[in-house]
Amino acid sequence: MNFKNKRIMAIAAHPDDADFYCGGAVASWIKQGAAVRYVICTDDSCGSDTGDITPQELAELRRAEQDAANKTLGVADTVYLDYPDMGLYDGEDLRRDVAREIRKYKPNILLTFDPWTRYEVHPDHSASARGALYGRFAAKLPLKFPELLADEGLKPWDVEAIYFFKSDQPDTWVDIEDVLELKAEALICHKSQFGDLVQSKEQGMGLLQTLHKRNPATGKIAEGFRFLPCEGLEGLKAYISL
């Protein structure tokens, strides 16, 4: 797929999720001419193992860290939905908010967690994935959330495809060796989460080289995705699943 002039939206549960799981692909696609926006569903106000910071202070810190990482990767901006950390549920409110952001930004491609990954231990990861998947479907339907059109002037929008990250059944690989340094620099920005593991760019690259899988076709360090076409004949085949 040619990513030049494509609009890409990554929907994740917390700051650092997208950078960690698909930051290499994001950096690569931006270099090819894509524009990327993040949507972060929660405030990550519980994301500390020490408890030496208040939830409000942590939420503010996490937002600042994500904004810094955006500059490193070239992400245009981030929308923060500010649902409570460890309290995200896939329901009408989240789906409406996702549909709203999709209709505003009009992305060609969505990135989000794979909602069917086995042994996912964080409930917010699964909830954000389902909110993204089903909010995407709602975004294209004029009779679902009609207030988005009537009150906000947001017309329905069809997303072309979804790339599910953190999938245990990847079928699409993006080589990231040429942007691994950028990804490491982005992770350094998330000091509250990776401060002990990633204190330098070299240390970050070493960690990523250890953790990342390799593209079976090229042997290069890569990020794996489960690809879901949403429109056209391929989208119809995926939807009907005969």
CA angle 17, 67, 49 (to 5 degrees): 50
CATH H-level, domain 7-240: superfamily:
LmbE-like (3.40.50.10320)
The pTM (predicted TM-score) of the whole model is 0.95
Residue type, 170: P
Tokens of 156: 């329905």
Domain ranges for the chain: 7-240
Give pLDDT, residue 205.
Answer: 81
**pLDDT averages per 10-residue partition of the chain, 242 residues:** 94 97 98 98 91 92 96 97 97 98 98 97 97 98 98 98 98 97 93 79 84 95 97 83 60
Give pLDDT, residue 158.
Answer: 96
Residue position matching structure tokens 């994935």: 129
Give pLDDT, residue 242.
Answer: 53
Q: How many Å from the N-terminal Cα to the C-terminal Cα in the chain?
A: 25
